[in-house]
Amino acid sequence: MMVINMRIIEEIIGKEVLDSSAVVIGKVRDLELNVETNQIEAFILGKGGISEGLGLSKGETVVPYDMIKQIGDKILLKNASETL
């Protein structure tokens, strides 16, 4: 788990999330946090595009933190075999 602070949250929100095949599955719209441990539990992804920018897109995907392989310019997810 990653311990969070406001700077980390600001850096993560808006990043593109890629699956293990490097296909963009969305952008981080919000984070699910455990306030007791101050750790990220999940990433909330929006579908992206103009409709989301206007607040019209209701589709979201929740990605548990343990599915994250790497956080850099983009966020990479583990493939299925890495999660077992």
Question: How do residues 59-68 score in pLDDT, each as one tens digit?
Answer: 788 999 999 9
Q: Which fold has domain 6-83?
A: SH3 type barrels. (2.30.30)
Q: How many CB atoms lie within 10 A of CB 31?
A: 17
Split at pLDDT 50, 70, 90, the class of 1 is: low
Report field, pTM of the whole predicted structure over 0.85: no
* 5-15 burial: b if 16+ Cβ within 10 Å, else e: eeeeeeebeeb
pLDDT averaged over every residue in the chain = 83
